[in-house]
Amino acid sequence: MARFAVSVRSQLRGMCEALASLVFPAPCRICARMLDTGAHVPFCRACVTALTQALPEPLCGQCGRPVVSTAVADGVSSPLCHLCRRGAYDFDFVRSFGAYTPSMARAILMLKYGEVTPLGSWFANHLVQVVEHNAGAFAADALVPVPLHPSRLRERGYNQAELIARPLARSLGIPFRSYLLVRTRPRPDKLRLTRRERWETVRGAYATREGAQVDKLRVLLVDDVFTTGATLDACSRALRGAGAVRVVGLTVARALPSSVAPDATGGYQDLGE
């Protein structure tokens, strides 16, 4: 009986969404085709399907990068990528909702610059699913969005990581503690940074707020994109320096070699802020 009721509700929801698309026609903000759903995010069904595809497994046991080499993955329950085998990152564990594809890039840019704020909750709902698949790894005492420098926050008016993190904290029942971490040095105005420049830009650029109690905390960091991992690494080092015992991260998207095209100088678009 319950299954029948769920089926009926699903059919009614589908009919309402179809009716809304007829009464209030609008283009999908990703592909420009006419919307065919009445969802609160401006994406058609095809684009939603594309956005919600999981990263291909196996994933690196630490940073969440898909491990392409079967030689590395075979017979290993938690294989590590070449960076994590070399100990490149300070954080304990990171996972992402999906790959940084062109469609995902457009969706994230809408949140960051287009003020399509409902995307914050939409992304958060999908990150809840990521946490549920790794429940033990994401046990935390505080959930902290990666902060913006005050000058960038004044310019934009909001922190897109906070728009994702706040509803996520409510859903997970983890205390939201945005005040624990601050960015002390702004990023350069240059739009694109090389990998080396990105690491240099964030090194020492984060600190715990004076007087904040971080000692012995397990912290869950939330950001929109994992590009090189430099930002989460810098945040983790600041938190550990203040006494945090464990730092894990969640991002909406994960930039991969196959989905992030370097420019002529070998640089990558800086997506961390």
- pLDDT tens column, 195-234: 888 888 899 999 999 999 999 999 999 999 999 999 999 9
Q: Which domains does the chain have, with CATH numbers?
A: 7-51 (no CATH), 58-269 (3.40.50.2020)
User: How many residues comprise the chain?
Assistant: 273
Alpha-carbon distance values, 56 to 34, 169, 247, 254, 255 (Å) = 30, 26, 24, 11, 13
Question: Beta 192-193 vs 142-145: how paired, if at all?
Answer: unpaired
88: exposed, middle or buried (C-beta count within 10 Å: 0-12, 13-18, 19+)?
middle
- With 50 as the cut, is the pLDDT of residue 3 above it? no
Q: Tokens 């994933």 map to which residue?
A: 59
pLDDT for 180 = 97
Interatomic CA distance for residues 63 and 88, integer angstroms = 10
Percent of the chain residues past pLDDT 90, beyond the cut: 63
271: confidence class by pLDDT, cuts 50, 70, 90? very low
pLDDT per residue over 33-59, tens digit each? Answer: 888 766 678 899 999 999 998 898 899
Crossing angle of the two packed helices 118-133 and 102-112, in degrees rounded to 10? 130
Sequential DSSP letters for 175-191: -B-GGGEEE-SPPPS-S
pLDDT for 152 = 92
pLDDT per residue over 98-124, tens digit each? Answer: 999 999 999 999 999 988 999 999 999
Which letter, b or e, does each residue of 103-139 get, where b requires 16 or more Cβ atoms within 10 Å of its Cβ?
Answer: bbbbbbebbbeeebeebbbbbbebbeebbeeeeebbe
pLDDT per residue over 226-270, tens digit each? Answer: 999 999 999 999 999 999 999 999 999 999 865 333 333 333 344
pLDDT for 176 = 98
pLDDT for 227 = 92
Query: Helix (H, G, I), strand (E, B), or coil: what is residue 8?
Result: helix
Q: What is the mean pLDDT of residues 4-19?
A: 50
